[in-house]
Amino acid sequence: MQPTLLSRLFFALAILALAIALTLGVVNVARAQSITVLPSTSQQAGISVCGHGTANSHPDQAEIQVGVQASASTAENARSQAAQAMNAVLAALKSQGVASDDIQTDYFAIAPEYNYSSGNPFVTGYTASNNVTVTVHAVSTTGAIVDAVTRAGGNDIVVNGIQFSTGDPSETLAAAQQSALANAHQQAEKAALAAGVTLGAPISIQLDGCGASTVVSSFPSAAGAVDQNAKTPIQPGQVEVTADVEVVYAIS
């Protein structure tokens, strides 16, 4: 009786082990089926170059940073003086044909002024500042506008600078990119010749791949002459647009 019982026990354990093995096998198969094997790819040999190009255009608009700054013993007096000066400046801008939509306030502040000479700082007054950005679409009137706002603002006027640009630089940018592509091709030809290989067609072209395209504008001076009747000379010059392209050429 005991051997028979023992045999049955061994037989039951064997069945259990077989079931566990089969279960593990199914799990392993399921796991194996979830694995994706990616095919190996070969990368085509090539020459990578960075082309740089520029193009110039005549600006068709200008931005003038105009503001007023007034100081007084109280914050309210400083604000009132700055408001009076800015209202005169705005009226002068509109009298020169500048539309309201082309005038935008970009900074306003009222701040205390301190005296630090005694070691213990104390308030001596207040300064109010009000600045606007003016977009001028008739570039030839820029000098006249500077003169008009200077007369209107008096000693409270502040002209921070003038920047010329083109309203739609897409054509100039396209010309700069064409110049950059030509420059890239020249570099690739020289590299292929030096390496003793034959230059093929471009594999990839990435605009702005070597650096961002930029528009570089001049900042002419807006200072007037001593003669009160002299007009402020403003020279728009040219706007230079630069572009970079990264090109990979096939070789053989």
Per-residue pLDDT 10s for the chain (252 aa) are: 445 544 554 444 444 444 444 444 433 333 322 222 223 334 567 888 999 999 888 888 999 999 999 999 999 999 999 999 999 999 999 999 999 999 999 999 999 999 998 888 999 999 999 999 999 999 999 999 999 999 999 999 999 999 888 877 888 888 889 999 999 999 999 999 998 999 989 998 888 777 555 555 444 444 443 455 677 777 777 878 888 999 999 988
Rounded to whole angstroms, what are the CA distances from 42 to 39, 45, 201?
Answer: 10, 9, 18
- Is the Cβ–Cβ distance between 207 and 243 less than 8 Å? yes
Question: Could you say which of 3.40.50.300, 3.30.70.2970, 3.40.50.2000, 3.20.20.190 is the CATH number of the domain covering 61-165?
Answer: 3.30.70.2970
Both structure tokens of 99: 């539309």
- In whole angstroms, what is the distance from residue 161 CA to residue 65 CA? 5
Match 């094997």 to its residue by tokens: 37
| pLDDT at residue 31, rounded to an integer | 31
| pLDDT at residue 143, rounded to an integer | 93
| pLDDT at residue 101, rounded to an integer | 95
- In whole angstroms, what is the distance from residue 213 CA to residue 205 CA? 15
| pLDDT at residue 40, rounded to an integer | 33
| pLDDT at residue 97, rounded to an integer | 94
CATH class of 43-59+167-252: alpha beta
In whole angstroms, what separates CA 78 from the centre of its chain?
Answer: 36
| pLDDT at residue 35, rounded to an integer | 23
Residue spans of the domains in the chain: they are 1-41, 43-59+167-252, 61-165
Rounded to whole angstroms, what are the CA distances from 118 to 73, 111, 121?
Answer: 19, 21, 7
